[in-house]
Chains A and B, each alone.
Chain A
């Protein structure tokens, strides 16, 4: 392994094993979507929904923290001198090092777009963490059990709103349909399998998301039917986030998320 040269506050160089890549992908999904939801603070359509969105965001932040800590444990076990902490992954990587799916970095748009995006993520995450109850690492299985309970509520909350917006006024319906049409192409990236993770999946260490795709589509179709929204799965899908190829939006998000620890490395309360 080549020597790693890191500057305080500068980027970390993560030696990504297939397992570490998996941890970071799901941690990054949770962090980035959680940050997006935090952007709604004080801007939601009602005070009640303001609190709800902050709650959902904090659930995701908690999930990201667990997974980043797990990543730190894995990296430190291989190279104790690194002394990695959860913060290093959140604050000291640039956009191309982030492994989140493109869906979660999409801007909030209007409330309908945020709810459609959340439905598309939470329906996946609920299936994924539920399937992950059976993985071989007890720490990940316990995390999956906690996350699945949280995410089950996320899915219900998002679906409740999508149904009401779709089957609501002409205005809410137009916005919900437009959000769905725009975001649907991002859903399939969640089911991509990385070739070097296949042995881990075969060994039962992690779950292959691809096997959940049919169940996922069924769920989304049911919600959209109740929302009276028209749903046409695109024949192609947006891809690249898991490989670090992100859209223009992620850099701006990270600039805000990472400013303080970048400007004042090691700052604490």
Chain B
């Protein structure tokens, strides 16, 4: 790699696979602008037919939860097993759900 690697902004790449319903995070890359970020995403992440749709998002546009808040945000949910719909019996007549 050349010593003077350009100081390009970081982008997050999301791919939707052929049979996937939602875009999933695939990785990140550096690119000077949105068009070239899309091109680089195509060249880096879809070489083996992984996608039929690409999103790129400037990394700075993603608002992330603070890892230090993990206990406050997520631990309380761990003890609320009644929030899982596993206490209902589905009548046979309903069929596949």
Residues of chain A whose beta carbon lies under 8 Å from any beta carbon of chain B? 42-52, 55, 153, 156-157, 160-161, 164
Beta-carbon contact of B5 and A52 below 8 Å? no
When C-beta atoms are compared, the residue in chain A nearest to B40 turns out to be: A48
Q: How far is the CA of A47 from the CA of B30 in the complex (A)?
A: 9
Q: How far is the CA of A42 from the CA of B43 in the complex (A)?
A: 15
- Digit string of B40-69 for contact with A (CB within 8 Å is 1, else 0)? 101110010000000000000000000000
Chain B residues, CB < 8 A from A45: 2, 5-6
When C-beta atoms are compared, the residue in chain A nearest to B2 turns out to be: A45
Q: How far is the CA of A43 from the CA of B31 in the complex (A)?
A: 17
CB < 8 Å neighbour of B40 from A42, A43, A52: A52
B36 within 8 A of A: yes
B81 within 8 A of A: no
A118 CB, min distance to chain B CBs, angstroms: 13
Chain A residues, CB < 8 A from B35: 160
B32 within 8 A of A: yes
Q: Which of A45, A46, A47, A161 has the most CB of B within 10 A?
A: A46
Residues of chain B whose beta carbon lies under 8 Å from any beta carbon of chain A? 1-2, 5-6, 8, 29-33, 35-36, 39-40, 42-44, 47
Chain B residues, CB < 8 A from A157: 39
Q: How far is the CA of A45 from the CA of B4 in the complex (A)?
A: 8
When C-beta atoms are compared, the residue in chain B nearest to A164 turns out to be: B32
Beta-carbon contact of B8 and A46 below 8 Å? yes
When C-beta atoms are compared, the residue in chain B nearest to A53 turns out to be: B43
Given contacts A48-B31, A48-B44, list 20 more A-B pairs with CB under 8 A. A42-B1, A43-B2, A44-B1, A45-B5, A46-B5, A46-B6, A46-B8, A47-B1, A48-B40, A51-B44, A51-B47, A52-B39, A52-B40, A52-B43, A52-B44, A55-B47, A156-B39, A157-B39, A161-B36, A164-B32
30 CB contacts below 8 A, A to B, read: A42-B1, A43-B1, A44-B1, A44-B2, A45-B5, A45-B6, A46-B1, A46-B5, A46-B6, A46-B8, A46-B30, A47-B1, A48-B31, A48-B40, A48-B43, A49-B40, A50-B1, A51-B40, A51-B43, A51-B44, A51-B47, A52-B40, A52-B43, A55-B43, A55-B47, A153-B42, A157-B39, A160-B35, A160-B36, A161-B36
Chain A residues, CB < 8 A from B39: 52, 156-157, 160
Q: How far is the CA of A55 from the CA of B48 in the complex (A)?
A: 11
Q: How far is the CA of A268 from the CA of B42 in the complex (A)?
A: 33
| A48 and B2 contact, Cβ closer than 8 Å, known pairs A157-B39, A164-B36 | no
Chain A residues, CB < 8 A from B8: 46
Q: How far is the CA of A55 from the CA of B47 in the complex (A)?
A: 8
Q: How far is the CA of A51 from the CA of B8 in the complex (A)?
A: 16
Chain B residues, CB < 8 A from A55: 43, 47
Chain A residues, CB < 8 A from B31: 48
CB < 8 Å neighbour of B30 from A43, A48, A153, A161: A48
B72 CB, min distance to chain A CBs, angstroms: 38
Chain A residues, CB < 8 A from B29: 48
Q: How far is the CA of A52 from the CA of B40 in the complex (A)?
A: 7
